[in-house]
Amino acid sequence: MWPFRHKHIKELDDATLIAEYKKSENTDYVGELYKRYSHLVIGVCLKYLKDRDNAKDATLEIFENLMQDLLKHNITNFKSWLHSVARNHCLMKLRQTSSKVKHFEHYQEAVLTEETMGYLPYEETQTKEEQLTDLEKGIQQLKEEQKICIQLFFLHKKTYQEITDLTNYSLNDVKSYIQNGKRNLKIYLTRKQ
C-alpha cells in the first residue's frame, strides 16, 4: 500500500502533505514541499542575505527546522507561512551577524590601540567575521580570571563594581585582570599576524 501512496504524493495538496506528515512523520512529505517551494525560499533568502551560498545554506536550515515546526503548528496557508518563516530566519541571521560585528568593533576599539592596529593589516586581508573569530580565540587564550573580567566588562557592559559583586574578586584585582587581559590580547593578536 505504501508504494501506491508514495507514487501519488505529487498529486497531494499542501494541507494534505502536512496532515500526512503529522500522522506518519515520513520525511517524503516534507521532501515534496521542498521540491515545490525551495525556489521560493531561496529567493527570499537571496533578497535578504545578498549571497547565493548563504541563501542556499539558510534554505537548508529552514527546511530542516520545518520538520519540527510542522509538527508544532497548525498551518492554514503553507506558502505564505513559509515565506514568513524564511524572512524571519534571514532577519535573525542578519541580526546575529550585526551583533557579532558590533561586539568585534567594541572589542577592537577598547582593546586595540592605534599603535597596535598599525601592525595588524585587518582591513585589507580579513573580513569582520574572521577578525571576530581571531578576537574570540584570543580571549579564550587568556587566564580564566582575565577572560571572565574582559567578557563581563566589554561584552556585557558591566562596571568594575558589578564585576566585583559577580566574581568576588577585589576591585583592584578586577582592574588588574582587565588591564592585563587587554595587554595579553594585544600580544596574541600581534603574534597571530
CA 156 to chain centroid, in Å, comes to 18
In a shared domain, residues 88 and 10 = yes
Let me know whether 77 and 116 are in one domain: no
Q: Find where cell 517524503 sits.
A: 28
pLDDT at 67 over 70: yes
Domain coverage including residue 118: 112-192
pLDDT tier at 117, thresholds 50, 70, 90: very low
Claim to verify: residue 73 and residue 117 sit in the same structural domain: no
Residues 148-163 have pLDDT tens digits of 888 888 777 788 898 8
What is the arithmetic mean of pLDDT over 6-34? 88
The torsion region of residue 75 among left (phi > 0), alpha (psi -120 to 50) and beta comes to beta
Q: What is the pLDDT of residues 107-116, one digit of tens each?
A: 656 555 444 4
Distance between CA 127 and CA 112 in Å, rounded?
17
Q: Can you list the pairs that 22-25 forms with residues at least 24 positions away whose Cβ atoms lie under 8 Å?
A: 22/70, 22/71, 25/71
Residue at 106 is within a domain: no
**Is residue 104 domain-resident?**
no
pLDDT digits (tens, 9 = 90+) for 158-178: 888 988 888 888 999 999 998
Does the global pTM surpass 0.85?
Answer: no
Q: Tell me the CA end-to-end span of the chain in Å, nearest whole number.
A: 64
The answer as to whether 103 is a domain residue is no
The tally of domains found in the chain comes to: 2
Q: Band of the pLDDT at 62, cuts 50, 70, 90?
A: very high
